[in-house]
Amino acid sequence: MTVRPQLPDRAPRANGAPTALDGLLVVDFTRVIAGPACTQTLADFGAEVIKIENPDGGDDTRSYEHADLAGESSAFLGLNRNKRGIVLDLTQPAARDVAGQLIERADVVVENFSTGVMERFGLDYASVVPRNPRLVYCSISAYGREGPFAARSGFDPITQAESGLMSLNGFPDGPPVRTGPPMVDIATGMTACNAILLALLARDRLGRGQHVEVALFDIAVAMTGFYGMTYLVNGVNQSRFGNSPSGSPTVGVYEAADGPFYIACANDRLYRRLMTDVLGRPDLASGPEFANRRARSANKEKLRAIIAAIFVGDTRDNWMAKMKAVNVPAGFLRTVEEAFNAPELRERHRLSQIPHPAAGTVPNIEPPLSMGLTPAVSPVAAPLLGQHTKAVLRKTLGYDDGRIAALADAGVFGRI
């Protein structure tokens, strides 16, 4: 039976604490994962993010199949916190005019349309920057906005496959495996946020904004890490290694009597500690077959079999207690359910529930960074489709009810 954690109400924010991005206006044309992940971070730390969606269904993640509350998917709820949502049918000239006026007032624009779409709408960087030279304009794409591959559509697993990243994931005797979560999308969103913040810092010094770009393929290549760099240095094509990089027998998954855990004894000092203080086998730390990393790698199957036979003789909790007592790096191999009910997550205060206009409350996962002086804002659930359209047009553009009604009659907001 599934055990869901009891989620507390979100602890109130310190009264009067400033936000890092107070006063920053972001116009958000993004959808799916990478772009919304970027703009959610900006919103979490005080930026006013106006999310513009197509009135015909909105962001694709609204209808993702993973789970939903009151018709809103878990994917959408988890990527669009703290944003104000409006709908504009950008095929309508009047809607493009509204978008242009928002951009004129913005500090940041983020878009992840296919290459050429913003140009067709007249909302690309070259078209809008003459009216707002301080604008930071971020484009997120699969293969960049220029060059022979700019028109290619692309998704996280495709760039994992094409960059070499997927070839490093999996076991040596099996096929390449994509990461479970969309890691390239998530890393692209984080990198786009960094690029925007860099451009804002540069704007303070130089007095003008700039166009910044982030491409999924580039991020996937960067995520090959030192394995990609090793290939460039020695020409060796790294193969898959499963849970044990470099074939180390003391890095990877082992089974206790009642379940799996992961250990990471990657150097001689930790290995000796594991053998002597945890397993009670000092002979395995001194003999010529296992005394150093090279010897252990050469005899890895033999050593792994010995260690596995010992670990299966006791419970996971007992082994973890012994390893923690002597600082041997190890951790439970948990399911998502186990992790989200674990003491580490509870004591880090990473989970809460927050109000939602249709569902009552929805779960909330805190931003994965903390700032002492400018903490994250009190979270507001992802918007319903078009929830803030009239409020944004009144506040940000100064439209009165008559003008808003005229735009609605013209189909700017789709069929309401």
CA distances from 296 to 29, 134, 279, 288, 300 (A): 53, 58, 16, 9, 5
- pLDDT of 246: 67
Does residue 416 carry a pLDDT above 70?
no
Q: Average pLDDT of 348-365?
A: 95
Let me know the angle formed at the C-alpha of 41 by 38 and 44, rounded to the nearest 5 degrees: 150
- Sign of the Cα torsion 83, 86, 89, 95 reads negative
> Which residues have a catalytic role annotated?
185
Q: Which residue has the higher pLDDT, 315 or 286?
A: 315
Q: Residue 108 carries which side chain, given as an amino acid letter?
A: V
Nearest CA-CA partner of 22 in 43, 51, 52, 53: 43
Q: Average pLDDT of 364-373?
A: 93
Find the range with the poorest average confidence among 2-11, 74-83, 197-206, 404-413: 2-11
- Asked if 213 contacts 141 with a C-beta cutoff of 8 angstroms, the reply is yes
Domain span(s) for CATH 3.30.1540.10 in the chain: 245-340
The CA distance from 116 to 133, in Å, is 21
Two structure tokens written together for 47: 């930026």
Secondary structure element (H or E) that encloses residue 336, with its range? helix 336-340
Secondary structure element (H or E) that encloses residue 406, with its range? helix 401-409
In DSSP terms, which residues pair with 25 in a beta bridge? 48
- pLDDT of 297: 86
Please name the fold of domain 25-225+350-409: Rossmann fold (3.40.50)
Q: Residue 120 carries which side chain, given as an amino acid letter?
A: R
Crossing angle of helices 389-397 and 93-105, in 10° steps, is 50
Residue 44, Cβ neighbours under 10 Å: how many?
Answer: 22
**Over the stretch 70-89, which tens digit does the pLDDT of each residue have?**
889 999 999 999 999 999 99
Q: Residue 401 carries which side chain, given as an amino acid letter?
A: D
- pLDDT of 1: 65
The DSSP call for residue 51 is E
**Over the stretch 144-153, which tens digit does the pLDDT of each residue have?**
999 999 999 8
**Chain mean pLDDT for the chain:** 94
Two structure tokens written together for 161: 């496959």
Q: How confident is the model at residue 302 (pLDDT cuts 50, 70, 90)?
A: very high
96 φ, ψ to 5°?
-65, -35
- pLDDT of 70: 87
Residue 27, Cβ neighbours under 10 Å: how many?
Answer: 28
Crossing angle of helices 389-397 and 401-409, in 10° steps, is 130
Q: Average pLDDT of 104-110?
A: 98
Q: Average pLDDT of 378-405?
A: 97
The CA distance from 269 to 49, in Å, is 50
Q: Which CATH superfamily is domain 245-340 in?
A: formyl-coa transferase, domain 3 (3.30.1540.10)
Domain span(s) for CATH 3.40.50.10540 in the chain: 25-225+350-409
**Over the stretch 153-188, which tens digit does the pLDDT of each residue have?**
889 999 999 999 999 999 999 999 999 999 999 999
- pLDDT of 66: 81
Nearest CA-CA partner of 215 in 76, 112, 75, 61: 112
In DSSP terms, which residues pair with 330 in a beta bridge? 263
Does residue 125 carry a pLDDT above 90?
yes
